[in-house]
Amino acid sequence: MALLDSEVWAKKFFSDGWRDCDSEQPVVEPATGDRLGAIGLASAGDVARAAARAAEAQRAWAATAPQERAAVLRRAGELFSAHAGEIEDWLVREAGSVRAKASFEVRLAVGECFECAGLPTHPQGEVLTSEEARWSLARRRPAGVVSVIAPFNFPLLLGLRSVAPALALGNAVLLKPDPRTAVSGGVVIARIFEEAGLPAGVLHMLPGDGSVGQAVVEAPEVRVISFTGSTPVGRAIGERAGRLLKRAHLELGGNNALVVLPGADVAKAASAGAFGSYLHQGQICMTTGRHLVHESLLARYTEALAAKAAALPVGDPTREDVALGPIIDRRQLERVHGIVTRSVAAGATVAAGGEIVGAGYRATVLSGVSTDMPAWREEIFGPVAPVIGFSTLEEAARIVNDCEYGLSVGILGDVGTAMKLADRIDSGKVHINEQTVGDEPNAPFGGVKASGTGSRFGGAAANVEAFTETQWVTVRPDIADYPF
């Protein structure tokens, strides 16, 4: 039987095994609207039962030898590799990924598991000095039950990057995938860890609507929430978590800038800009959403970027060799087009694209843009590249920072000049001579301002901080003398 055989998961969710349920939702291929199957939907009551079971199972899992927890993570990485083709097929059909993006996502999933396999044996605290005649220790303990709420765009990776470290550090997990990508972002993860030997009850996969999202935040057993998604939803989760005195790690939106410095290689810069704006149809929080080009290169860069955009085919990645697949659903497709048309009405010019093609959108370049236009101010989450010019480094820094988001910035050109600009930029990530989209399992990931709480995914230090609590422990050789 294949890893993702529908006989296992159809019309079910995962909670102490695959469970039948009263409600289901079609699994739909965005490129065609075809039905690929049906996933079971959990209810708020199902979440309550899963949270109670997770809290029970977590105690035994946290007590499991570190080497055994590490072995589960290593087996998970090996299984991702062994079933890469099957998982990629689902990412292409359900998430609208082109094959190269799907392959990249699975490779990152493999790396995430192998990186997290080192966490169980990573140092879990520090020895402190003390004024008393005692040992004083600060040790890290599992938080307990962690809720992970994942988005549709990189459904496998953006769920796994919280699930894997949370499990490795001895927590139990409630995973709520986006219902639009519940197989590639939920079933895949549940099946991999099921086959890897994770004990029953430690991981629960609970697709559902907003009521399920609310339930995985509010369940009393849950101590940490890891959310990746839109800024408005993240604000609501953060507010609710604050009232409940729970930690919330919020990785939210972005409107990321690519700065092309004077003297940069225009051909290479346009290639980098096209990749940053059009990878996965621009449906990435790190997508290059703003192109700032020195006035000496502005016309040449815009022309080169428009030529790149015009050459990128749009279509169904399952059946055609295309560079851009479908937008995730019709509502988002019309939103992207609406931002373009409103910007054109405000004075922008379409240098390339600007058209709906079936379920997709042509790679688009907008020139004549001003900083108050919708295409510049808003996170588009589509394959649209607005371009403006700048004259001085001070102006570039001001324009980059004049944005509610602060996730990722790319700077192309002279390294010394780029370093000076980087020191003036408010951003969680800065890439010199690279575009804005980049992620590695051992690298910190997070944004500032409306891009998130500054929480960092990736790397041992960030993961230990995110998914454990600090406990102070003291030890004396004898019972102390007290004045009472």
Is residue 251 among the annotated active site residues? yes
Set 21, 113, 116, 285: catalytic member: 285
If one counts the domains in the chain, the total is 2
Query: What tens digit of pLDDT does each residue of 96-143 get?
Result: 999 999 999 999 999 999 999 999 999 999 999 999 999 999 999 999
Residue 174 has pLDDT above 70, yes or no: yes
Tell me if 213 is assigned to some domain: yes
Query: What tens digit of pLDDT does each residue of 271-312 get?
Result: 999 999 999 999 999 999 999 999 999 999 999 999 999 999
Q: What is the mean pLDDT of residues 448-467?
A: 90
Residue 1 has pLDDT above 70, yes or no: no
Over 34-72, what HEC string results? CEEEEEEECCHHHHHHHHHHHHHHHHHHHHCCHHHHHHH
Residue 454 has pLDDT above 80, yes or no: no
Q: Check whether residue 67 and residue 119 sit in a common domain.
A: yes
Q: Check whether residue 91 and residue 138 sit in a common domain.
A: yes
pLDDT of residue 457: 83
Q: Check whether residue 123 and residue 246 sit in a common domain.
A: yes
Is residue 116 among the annotated active site residues? no
Q: Check whether residue 362 and residue 219 sit in a common domain.
A: no
pLDDT of residue 458: 87
Domain range spanning residue 465? 6-252+452-472
pLDDT over 90 percentage in the chain? 97
Average pLDDT across the chain, whole number? 97
Query: What tens digit of pLDDT does each residue of 10-36 get?
Result: 999 999 999 999 899 999 999 999 999
Token readout for 80 is 């991702």
Q: Check whether residue 282 and residue 199 sit in a common domain.
A: no
Q: Check whether residue 131 and residue 200 sit in a common domain.
A: yes
Residue 165 has pLDDT above 70, yes or no: yes
Tell me if 1 is assigned to some domain: no
pLDDT of residue 149: 98
Q: What are phi and psi of 351, to 5 degrees?
A: -85, -20
pLDDT of residue 256: 98
pLDDT of residue 459: 87
Tell me if 317 is assigned to some domain: yes
Q: What is the mean pLDDT of residues 47-57?
A: 98
Q: Check whether residue 260 and residue 244 sit in a common domain.
A: no
Tell me if 306 is assigned to some domain: yes
pLDDT of residue 88: 98
Residue 412 has pLDDT above 70, yes or no: yes
pLDDT of residue 395: 98
Q: Check whether residue 38 and residue 128 sit in a common domain.
A: yes
* CATH number (domain holding residue 111): 3.40.605.10
Tell me if 444 is assigned to some domain: no
Q: What is the mean pLDDT of residues 165-185?
A: 98
Q: Check whether residue 164 and residue 261 sit in a common domain.
A: no
* CATH number (domain holding residue 303): 3.40.309.10
Query: What tens digit of pLDDT does each residue of 345-383 get?
Result: 999 999 999 999 999 999 999 999 999 999 999 999 999
Set 88, 112, 115, 251: catalytic member: 251
Q: Check whether residue 414 and residue 467 sit in a common domain.
A: no
Token readout for 412 is 């192309």
Q: Check whether residue 127 and residue 266 sit in a common domain.
A: no
Q: Check whether residue 238 and residue 275 sit in a common domain.
A: no
Residue 456 has pLDDT above 90, yes or no: no
Tell me if 340 is assigned to some domain: yes
Tell me if 107 is assigned to some domain: yes
